[in-house]
Structure 1
Amino acid sequence: MNQRSLEYVTSLYGGYWNFDFQDSCYMTNSYFPPDDFIELLSSQLKTLIHAYPSTNRQISSVLGEVIGVDGQKVVVGNGASELIAAITDSLITNVAIPIPAFEEYPNRARLLGKTVSPYMLSGDFHLDVSDFIAHVQTSGANSAIIVNPNNPTGTILTRSEITELVDRLSHLDLVLIDESFIEFSRVSPNPSISDLVDTHPNLMIIKSISKNYGVPGLRLGYIISANADHVSRIRQGVTIWSINSIAQCFLENLGRYQAQFQEACAHVVASTQKLFSNLEAIEGVKPYPTEGNFILCELDGSMTGTEVSTMLLDQFGILISDRTNKGGLGPHFIRIASRTEEENEKLTSALDTICSSRGTVSAARAE
């Protein structure tokens, strides 16, 4: 396989520092951590790589102090993916989930022999809460997962909508709300419902620290739940040293940088909305409004998502997410992660060039 091809690169799921291209595929915070935070970690690198990290319970307590939650209600994982596996294995038998969504949820459930009851989104991809609740009832699901804001659609449920949903699903064993992109939402009041875990025993919040704090290489995520049994099961599902010492040091110092973090999130929102406006100006591209740090785009019928993704990588050195026929989407979808304004402008310029030549692409395909 060509080691520069789209198929090969995406099959690696990371390690992209080994390639000379712009990663506009994975969603992260390009404005955090600040340089002085990275320098702090770098200065302790020799000590950290020679030292064992603390137990999960201790590291969870450290994060709890940062986010203002009792550490007994927090479990830190080696990325949200480790927690998704533990949750699916121990708490899910039949899960209802709107599709498209983060593919790890249905994929992991199927791999673990669980039943997936998909609820297909259409139109503008906004979730009809009452219709979804009816779907949960008829599907016989014991659990429901909502990604809010949703990946890859960028849609969001308001606080009143998500509160109604968890209230009406109180009979389920688990309602899991993924709030990994919530800091990038412009909706007021902020739609996070992490404060409702104390009054909703089946409610669990999951977040990927990679997405909002810009540290995917550290592999950090966490859940919040007031259900002691749920917390115990999840903590038993992760290994004693699943969090490395560098990641622990990051969490130990994170509280000192919350003001910079809020500023970084504001930069992300501004960059993303400017990217949206620039994409709107490209003929043949329909960007969907977003409350995340990424934008789902539908291309006109002259080009597929795979064709555009391949051309961006091969001709311009830019990697995006090809959403062709994934998660209920058709052949003409791509997802673009918002980066710095300079990187976003490079991407929109390249995409505009490709779309301007789409007649040539269609002719070549016909041959």
Structure 2
Amino acid sequence: MRHRVDAGMFQQTAHSPSYFELSRRMGDHGGQLIDFCIPCNPYFPTPDMFDFLARNLESVLKFYPSDADTISGQLARVLGLNPATIAMSNGSTELITWMDHLWVRDSIAIPIPTFGRWTDQPMETGKRVDMFPLQEDSGFALDIDAYIRFIRARGSRTAVLCNPNNPDGGYLPRREILRFMDALSDLDLVVIDESFIDFVEAERNPSVAADAAIRPNVVVLKSLGKNFGLHGIRFGYLVANPGLAGKMRRTLPKWNLNSLAESVVFMLAQHGEEYGESLRLLARDRYNMGMQLAQLPELTVFASQANFLLVKLAPGIDGTELRDHLISRHQVFIRECGNKLGMSNQFLRLVVRPEADVARLIDGIREFVQPRWEQESSAQVRPLVVRRIS
């Protein structure tokens, strides 16, 4: 059944509309929406954890949270980090905003495509953004040495590297990130955005957070919302040497974290095993979903170490039309990347989800492309599609 979708929602910003906005516009059918757009962890928190939060919801909403130092101190104990090296915020984008105001003086280098706030935020405050284009023919892989040469040639004073990168899920080994940090020790700031690092299975202990804490100009950014599937709580944190982390803590409001965030942080110590299992299940789903998508001749699938997959549509297939078709006929919400710098609407970022949800996505894609392929098959035309699968 078709449900009318206002395409204007997708034209107002460089980001997708929220799940709540979209579901409200869909009326009675909004509750049936499957979200392949916003990166999440479908297996965490567990149902028992949600039950605990539900039972305590009145207290959580009624009373003031503890101050940020108390909450971040507990997080440091769970992570095994020095509390002096952590600053916790109301979402990682709050930290991106304040890093721009505090430490980005006049120029910042960033590979593209990437998370939009890394380019949008400094441009909004009049900084020069030096964009290093990643190439499709290499699977959007980042060449560290070429990026360092680019930074030197441009004279960038701040450098950002997202690992894994968003939207392609490309991952660089830990040794390469350490080499990148050390090669740029004279810059004002080097930021390693590890918002999706927990989903990596290419190597054990891929994070460089502990290494950042002993370097003079490095900040590692983390997003608990993405890791734990709790975007609505809005919490992220950074790890840096005590001087940088302390300056950020003094800049942020004393009560910038909410009571739901506090409740979850204090629950984490008892649920580490469940979180590890959620990552294992998601890695399984990522592999299976990639294999199923690769069977569609209309898609090119790129390797990913994150909780999403980047795909490219075959020539002649309009990603915007496919997005609207999936929402209106199948209540499936995807991220079409036409408003991402360095991409076009031929690219889609698809969040990894369980098998039943993937089946609904694939059914919707097949329904959309089938008339086109029937027409081309009658003319005996079929383009070649090259696939890269993790």
TM-score by length of 1: 0.93
Task: Choose from 50, 60, 69 the match for 1:38.
Answer: 50
Deviation at 1:166, TM superposition (A): 0.7
Query: Does residue 212 in structure 1 map to residue 227 in structure 2?
Result: yes
Instruction: For structure 1, list consecutive stretches of 5 or more residues without a partner in the other structure.
Output: 363-367
Identity %: 29
SS in 1 for 2:213: helix
- Following superposition, the deviation at residue 233 of structure 1 comes to 2.8
Task: Give the CA deviation at 1:17.
Answer: 5.3
Whether the 8 Å contact between 1:304 and 1:324 is mirrored in structure 2 is no
Picking from 65, 73, 76, the partner of 1:53 is 65
Within-5 A mapping of 1:124-139 = 124-139=139-154
Deviations 1:331-362 (A, max 9, x none): 41111111222112211222122222235899
**Which of 10, 17, 22 is 1:12 aligned to?**
17
Unaligned runs of 5+ in 2: 25-29, 377-390
Matching residue of 1:164:
179
Question: Do the aligned partners of residues 280 and 53 (structure 1) sit closer, same or farther apart at CA in structure 2, a change above 3 Å counting?
Answer: same
Give deviations 1:261-296, integer Å, cap 9, x for gaps: 000011111111111100100011001111011011
Q: Partners in 2 of 1:227 and 1:353 — Cα distance?
A: 55
Residue 293 of structure 2: aligned partner: 279
Q: Secondary structure at the match of 2:129?
A: strand
Q: Tell whether the 8 Å contact from 1:154 to 1:290 is kept in structure 2 after alignment.
A: yes
CA contact (8 A) 2:85 2:246 kept: no
Contact 1:322 1:334 survives alignment (8 Å)? yes
105-114 vs 344-353, which deviates more?
344-353
- 2:384 aligns with none
Report the secondary structure of 1:357's partner residue: helix
Cα separation, 2, equivalents of 1:287 and 1:333: 10
Could you tell me which residue of structure 1 aligns to residue 162 of structure 2?
Answer: 147
Q: Which of 347-356 and 141-150 deviates more?
A: 347-356
- State the Cα deviation string for residues 108-154 of structure 1 (Å, max 9, x = none): 11112222111000021111111100111111111111110000011
Which of residues 94, 111, 119 in structure 1 aligns to 2:124? 111
Instruction: Point out the more displaced range, 180-189 or 32-41.
Output: 180-189
Whole-Å separation in 2 of the counterparts to 1:110 and 1:361: 45
Q: Which amino acid in structure 2 is aligned with residue 84 of structure 1?
A: I
Q: Deviations over 1:40-84 (max 9, x none)?
A: 112221112121111112211111111111111111111111111
Amino acid at match of 1:277: M
Distance 1:203 1:39, change over 3 A: same
Note closer, same or farther for the CA distance 1:361–1:118 as it changes in structure 2 (3 Å cut).
farther
Counterpart mapping for 1:325-344 below 5 A:
326-344=340-358
- Matching residue's letter, 1:26: I
1:244 matched to 2:258? The reply is yes
What code does the residue aligned with 2:73 have? S
Contact 1:275–1:344 at 8 Å: present in 2 too?
Answer: yes
Distance of 1:205 and 1:11 partners within structure 2: 25
Following the alignment from structure 2 to structure 1, what is the Cα–Cα distance between the partners of residues 19 and 94?
16
Q: Which residue of 2 aligns with 1:192?
A: 207
Structure 1, 5-14 or 202-211: larger mean CA deviation: 5-14
